[in-house]
Chains A and B, each alone.
Chain A
């Protein structure tokens, strides 16, 4: 079974600063993927970034990067130059590769950007 832990229920960050959202995971599988989703107050789930367990380089997508430390089983999301529109809930999730495995989500971090 997979488990995702997000230990920061809420964070406040000044606009234009960088922010790191923590995520640790637990699995016995060797091939898996880690995902970050953003959920604004409107409720939809917006895919941000993906990291495969065999990817040697950290994933980046625009202002988002994933700090993947496999030995520590952590997959932290880094948002550079935060913007007011980044205020939302952020969920870390994992899924086992191959087949049709479900995604297992963490409890989320509510990020608030302060102007």
Chain B
């Protein structure tokens, strides 16, 4: 069964450094999402992406964040200058267009640790 993949599984970085989290959504899916989960807390929406542009973003998704679908298969989340509070699990999710419900298929997550 096709699945969403994410790399790396764990990323450690120094505060102020740029990080790029990578995701490969399921191939025929058209809607893409990033969520984050700070340790011990609930999952929070960051951004949704459709038709090569951002369709919605949360208050968390400020100018330090950006998303890109560079080659038709990868979907990336970039954090330009990481802060300590960016430490979290980051989940990528995707969804096809032809489903009645909006079930999203989640990747395994990337655990980002900012030192």
A: which residues have CB within 8 A of B? 33, 35, 37, 43-45, 47, 50, 52, 91, 93, 95-108
Contact = CB atoms under 8 A, between A and B. Distances in A.
A33 B101 contact: yes
Interface of B: 31, 33, 35, 41-45, 48, 50, 55-56, 58, 89, 91, 93, 95, 100-106, 108-109, 111
A102 B56 contact: yes
B89 A97 contact: no
Closest 6 CB pairs of A and B: A102-B45, A45-B106, A105-B43, A33-B101, A95-B102, A44-B108
Contacts of B109: 43-45
A93 B93 CA distance: 14
Contact of B45 (A43, A97, A103, A107): A103
A92 to B, nearest CB: 10
B26 to A, nearest CB: 13
B48 A35 contact: no
Nearest to B30: A100
A45 B109 CA distance: 8
A91 B55 contact: no
B91 A45 contact: yes
A108 B102 contact: no
